[in-house]
Structure 1
Amino acid sequence: MSEEILINVTPRETRLALIENGLLQEIYLERRSRSGFVGDIYLGKVVRVMPGMEAAFVDIGLERAAFLHNSDIAPIGADGLEIRPEDSAAATIQTQLREGQMIVVQVAKDPIGSKGARLTTHLTLPSRNLVYLPRNNHIGISQRLESEEERERLLSELQQCLKEPGVRNSGGYIIRTAAEGAVASELQEDIRFLQKLWAAVERRIERGKEIRVLYRDLPLYLRAVRDLLTPCVEKIRIDTPDAFREISDFIRDFMPEFLTRIELYSGERPIFDLYGIDDEIDKALGRQVRLKSGGDLIIDQTEAMTTIDVNTGAYLGSKNHAETVLKTNLEAATAIARQLRIRNLGGIIILDFIDMDDPEHQRQVIRTLNKALEKDHARTMVTAISELGLVEMTRKRTRESLGQTLCAPCPVCEGRGRLKTAETICYEIFREIVRVARVYENDELLVMASQLVVDRLLDEESSTLADLEVLTGKTIRFEVEPMYTQEQYDVVLY
């Protein structure tokens, strides 16, 4: 599997695309006006404690107060480490926090929709190979590292590094997936970097008496290099000299073996245009995804969950019906995994595959889906096919989806995705005319509406209007209002 990372940097926006075997798999966006906050550490102020929810709202200087649940709070002991009570249910939110209290928190999830950011007091600082837990002595390793021999080697190397002179004997570490193949000197470099970083954060905590940022994560293009760069990545192409130099310095300091894979793109065509990324993004904002077999996916994202419906479409198959359904579902399973990554869909996801009677066919589809999801950087969980033929799954959501980042609700339909028909609006206008006629004694009424609605009133609904004038005893006039949407109208005295 060959991968490429494309980075497009402008003064207002950074865009990053992860390409696998020539196909877009993930897209990351960061805008100066609304960059993400996940991983940032703040000194915040508790503004409201909610005993009924076992949670508190904390002001960290963002537009909306952030949410901190009791389960994400650990009291700090005299040694600066988290205290883990034997019975976590015993510590209520009132005993943990009080209004007006200053507290050090880290953003676990970005603000999404109408919800504020999600916070935690379990602080972590990431580097290339390790995640530092400054308030916890836990030593762990990523579950994605499957080789038991490599896991044992890395844990042994880390333990040896922590015994080296000059290494601070507090805090825990988690070995990241990217550490596969790392040697002791690389782990030592990461440990030194992380401990210096935490020392700087501690100094800011001691000086802080008001709401402020204590630590801000790296910009998108450096985070991506830190988190996405693996031996599978053959090229990193950047289209801006300044970002190229910054990334080169970062790689030279932390991963010199990848230095030959970085490349400054200086072609005349925009880098995303050259690789067709913009077209892929436009497709990812639509509801329908065409499958090569002729079938399709219909993807609907709501506040509560995302639903994905699989259809056979024009595909008839060359064998029996069961084989046709299986082929479409297998192709859909792979396409769904890719769409989840491109669109960054998270939370609860319901998959409605085409009904399959054969249990072995069902198992094949679930196996294909799980295999395709193995490449996903976000944590996923998939259930078996239910009695209703649905697959329930979850995908960890830490930032807004691609649609939420790039789009806003339609001001005409207000996010419904549908408009009332011109006929429906005409009948609403008739009811409003009757209501106004009963209240006021004017001889004439004026109806202001869109061109489409006025045309219908004067054409298909003309006989109804004539009856209405007789019923109300009033003359009804019309005026086209160019600025009105199809659903807007006014009935006023003339």
Structure 2
Amino acid sequence: MSTEILVNIGTQETRVALVEGGSTQEVHLQRASRHGLTGNIYKGVVQRVLPGMQAAFVEIGLDRTAFLHVADMVCANNGDPNKPTPQITQLLHDGQSVLVQIVKDPMGTKGARLTSLLSVPSRYLVLLPFEPHVGVSARIEDEVERDRLKAILDETQRVEAPGFGVIARTAAEGADAEALANDLRFLMRLWGSISEQAKVAPAATMVHGDLPLSMRILRDLMGTDVERVRIDNMDEFRNLQQFAQVFVPNAASKVELYEGSAPIFDLYGVEDDIARALDRRVELKSGGHLVIDQTEAMTTVDVNTGAYIGHRNLEETVLKTNLEAAQAIARQLRLRNLGGIIIIDFIDMKGADHRAQVMRALERALAADHARTQVYPFTELGLVQLTRKRTRESLGHILCEPCAACNGRGTVKTVETVCHEIARDIQRAARQFEAKGFLVLAAPHVITRFMEEQSLGLGELEAQLHRPIRLQAESSYGQDSFDVVPL
């Protein structure tokens, strides 16, 4: 399956799409007004210690204070899982300076999540300044290769970075000892620079920022299966080539300048895929569909047969729809960048073998996901639960905002309900104010309904109150917004 990375550079926005087999799998965005913060290192100041939560709020210069839990702190238990975690008050106090790193961007009303267990990534390796541990990414499954990398890193770490921890990233698979040693030397120089900067940096400021999006994607997603990286901006193309020659030499020849007349994201329908990723409903080729709802607590996915009626029997129809849905769900999780708890309601299947087939299909589809996922068996209610690591906001949260009409509820009150509320408000105002009459300001279709429906009893209400009621349509009002003004 061919894999390409498309990079679109705008005046204030950079967008990157990972396209596999002509289908968009991932979309990453970075805006000048809203940079992704994950990976940035700050010199923070403790604002408030919360002993009951074993956590602290830390000021790092963002709009909201960030959150640091004791489990994410250096020397919390000295690396021994059997040793009890100390109280947060033993490690931090108000006003204390602390070097921290963002592990989760601010989301909604929540501030950023922090750790003081810093990590500094490069092409092949991740340096752990405060955790003397040598490891290999779990995504490298070949045991022979894992043993080879572990042996190289044990020796390289002993010589180049004694007392530091090192982890081999997925991209390190197949890399020789010299390439890994060069990477580690670079990381040690970078860490030296970060350490010096931290000593002189003012409180609540950034000490080290991660790479720009285009370079970060090249570092993180550039594998041997990526055929080419196409970028539509000459200046960024040159910068990316220079970066690749130094840090990702095997990728330098794959970086291409796109000079086509059509926008680069129109090549494989990426723009259309982004637009569809903002809809609740996802159509399946068979005629079935998914309904995806994202809430603050979790994301739910409902699978429906829709127009698909099959050709044999109900069980085969259900199985075919669920198998197709498993593939589509895995893609939508990546495309929309949905994280946290995810609940999938597949169409009910009676046979255990059919359930097993669907679970295997889902796990295979999720295997290509760069984010860590954990899938759990069917529950007694026939639901599938899974978790997906969330480090940045979803595509929907980045591109959208709550509806001005419904304030994010997804529904608005019916016109009839609003009319009855207006009537009650008029009665309430009549008891409170010695007014000669009342003026009702509401949306045009609400006013029209009030005037057309005699059953709503506007005339009866005027007779009951012995005061006139005047109606005025306001196009700027939402359907469930209105005002009752005493005259």
Work out whether the TM-score is over 0.5: yes
> RMSD over aligned Cα, in angstroms?
1.4
Distance 1:487 1:451 in 2: 11
Count of residues paired in the alignment: 487
Contact 2:5 2:16 in 1 (8 A): yes
Q: Please report how far the alpha carbon of residue 462 of structure 1 lies from its aligned counterpart in structure 2 after TM superposition.
A: 6.0
Q: Which runs of 4+ in 1 moved over 6 A?
A: none
Aligned equivalents of 2:158 and 2:74: distance in 1? 27
**Would you say the 8 A contact 1:18–1:27 is kept in 2?**
yes
| Superposed CA offset, 1:368-402 (max 9, x none) | 00000000010101111111010111100000000
- After TM superposition, give the deviation of residue 163 of structure 1 in Å: 4.9
Within 2, Cα distance between the matches of 1:186 and 1:180?
A: 11
Is the CA contact 2:420–2:456 (under 8 Å) kept in the aligned structure 1? Answer: no
2:33 aligns to what SS in structure 1?
A: helix
Which residue number corresponds to residue 351 of structure 1?
344
Query: What is the CA distance between 1:411 and its match in structure 2?
Result: 1.5
Residue pair 2:46, 2:57 contacting (<8 A) in 1 also: yes
Deviations 1:94-150 (A, max 9, x none): 111000000000101000111000000111000111000111210000111111111
Supply the distance in 2 between the matched residues of 1:255 and 1:447 (Cα, whole angstroms). 67
Deviation, 1:294, is: 0.3
1:285 aligns with 2:289: no
Q: Which residue of 2 aligns with 1:254?
A: 247
1:473 Cα deviation after fit: 1.2
The sequence identity of aligned pairs, in percent, is 52
Distance in 2 (CA, whole Å) between partners of 1:220 and 1:199 is 24
Q: Deviations over 1:301-348 (max 9, x none)?
A: 001000000000000001110000000000000000000000000000
The residue that corresponds to 1:120 in the other structure is 115
- Report the counterpart of residue 131 of structure 2 in structure 1: 136
- Distance of 1:186 and 1:304 partners within structure 2: 43
Aligned AA for 1:170? G
Does the aligned pair in 2 maintain the 1:347–1:395 contact within 8 Å? Answer: yes
In structure 2, do the counterparts of structure 1 residues 442 and 214 end up closer, same or farther at CA, with 3 Å as the change threshold?
closer
Task: Write the distance in 1 (CA, Å) between the matches of 2:58 and 2:200.
Answer: 20
The 1-side partners of 2:468 and 2:376 are apart by 64
After superposing the two structures, state which structure 1 stretch, 66-75 or 303-312, moved more: 66-75
Native 8 Å contact 1:49 1:97 kept in 2: yes
Deviation of residue 274 (structure 1)? 2.6
Q: Is structure 2 residue 13 aligned with structure 1 residue 10?
A: no
SS in 2 for 1:33: coil
Q: 1:284 to 1:207 in 2, by over 3 A?
A: same
Map Cα deviations across residues 6-46 of structure 1 (whole Å, 9 max, x no partner). 00112311100000000000000011111111111111000
Q: CA deviation at 1:414?
A: 0.3
Give the Cα separation in 1 of the matches to 2:150 and 2:394.
35
Tell me the TM-score normalised to structure 2 length: 0.98
How is 1:142-161 mapped onto 2 (pairs within 5 angstroms)?
Answer: 142-161=137-156
TM-score (normalizing by structure 1): 0.96
* Residue pairs, 1:56-455, within 5 angstroms: 56-75=56-75, 83-84=78-79, 88-164=83-159, 167-455=160-448
How far apart in 1 are the matches of 2:37 and 2:119? 14
Task: Identify the residue that residue 29 of structure 1 maps to in structure 2.
Answer: 29
Aligned position for 2:51:
51
Task: Report the residue type matching 2:444 in the other structure.
Answer: Q
Find the aligned partners of 2:95 and 2:65 in 1 and give their Cα distance.
Answer: 13
How far off its partner does 1:161 sit?
2.8
- Checking the alignment, whether the CA contact within 8 Å between 1:443 and 1:473 is kept in structure 2 is no
1:101 partner amino acid: Q
Q: Cα distance, 1:463 vs. partner? A: 6.1
Deviation at 1:85, TM superposition (A): 5.7
- C-alpha distance in structure 2 between counterparts of 1:69 and 1:472, whole Å: 61
Gaps of 5+ in 1: 77-81
SS at match of 1:327: helix
Shift in Å, 1:90: 4.5
The aligned residue for residue 478 of structure 1 is 471
SS at match of 1:447: strand
Deviates more, 1:278-287 or 1:250-259: 250-259
Amino acid aligned to 2:32: R
Q: Which residue of 2 aligns with 1:79?
A: none
Structure 2 gaps of 5+ residues are none
- Distance in 2, matches of 1:36 and 1:126, equals 16
Q: 1:258 to 1:90 in 2, by over 3 A?
A: closer
Post-superposition shift, 1:440? Answer: 2.5
Amino acid across the alignment from 1:295: G
Q: Please report how far the alpha carbon of residue 241 of structure 1 lies from its aligned counterpart in structure 2 after TM superposition.
A: 1.0
Q: Is the 8 A contact 2:339 2:390 kept in 1?
A: yes
Amino acid at match of 1:40: N
